């Protein structure tokens, strides 16, 4: 089996291509792919508990801390204590964060729509089905 024939080769390569493209599209706005992904995972109204964001993004806490620190320094987020549980922290978007989130959302939507239009509904469903099944195979191997 040649590398070009493996699933992981295609998945990794395509993710790297997407990540680079997103970086190029949002860098003029002072954003990166990681910051954009984080913004999209924070609810505009409710914010998100800091402990929930890492698992949702599939990021380790050390990498995520770095991203959040930079987002706080850029004034995109602020941290407040959870009204229901004073020990935990909720990350909320600032107005600047909401505005940058809209930019990131537009970029993601445009790209995904261009794929969906090109390959059509049936192949889109099949693609998501296969990806989900690969996820199941990974879980079973653990």
Instruction: Give me the residues that bind its own copies (CB under 8 A), please.
Output: 1, 3, 5-8, 10-19, 21-22, 24, 37, 40-41, 58-59, 108-109, 111-116, 118-119, 123-124, 126-128, 130-135, 137-138, 141-142
Q: 83 or 137: whose CB is closer to its own copies?
A: 137
Nearer to its own copies (CB atom), residue 22 or residue 26 = 22
- Compute the least distance from the CB of residue 105 to its own copies, in Å: 9
CB of 13 to its own copies, least distance (A): 6
**Nearest distance, CB of residue 63 and its own copies, angstroms:** 11
- Name which of 86, 107, 117, 132 is nearest 25 in CA terms: 107
Name the residue nearer to its own copies (CB basis): 3 or 83: 3
Nearest approach in angstroms of CB 116 to its own copies is 8
Residue 79 or residue 105: which is nearer to its own copies going by CB? Answer: 105
DSSP structure class, residue 28: G
Task: Kindly give, in sequence order, each residue whose CB lies less than 8 Å from that of residue 9, ignoring residues fewer than 6 positions away.
Answer: 3
* Rounded (5°) CA angle 14-39-61: 80
Residue 87 to residues 30, 40, 84, Cα–Cα distance (Å): 32, 25, 9
Give whichever of 88 and 114 is closer to its own copies, judged by the CB atom: 114
Helical residues (DSSP H) of 7-94, grouped into ranges: 7-26, 33-40, 50-57, 61-73
**Least CB distance to its own copies at residue 4 (A):** 9
State how far the alpha carbon of 130 is from the alpha carbons of 8, 12, 82, 125, in Å.
13, 15, 38, 9
């Amino acid at each position: 089996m040649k590398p070009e024939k493996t699933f992981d080769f295609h998945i990794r390569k395509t993710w790297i291509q997407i990540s680079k493209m997103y970086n190029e599209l949002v860098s003029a706005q002072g954003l990166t792919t990681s910051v954009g992904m984080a913004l999209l995972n924070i609810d505009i109204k409710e914010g998100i508990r800091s402990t929930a964001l890492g698992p949702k993004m599939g990021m380790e806490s050390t990498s995520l801390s770095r991203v959040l620190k930079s987002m706080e320094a850029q004034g995109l987020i602020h941290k407040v204590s959870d009204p229901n549980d004073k020990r935990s922290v909720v990350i909320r978007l600032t107005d600047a964060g909401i505005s940058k989130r809209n930019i990131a959302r537009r970029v993601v939507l445009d790209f995904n729509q261009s794929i969906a239009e090109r390959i059509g509904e049936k192949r889109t469903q099949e693609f998501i089905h296969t990806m989900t099944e690969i996820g199941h195979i990974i879980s079973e191997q653990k």
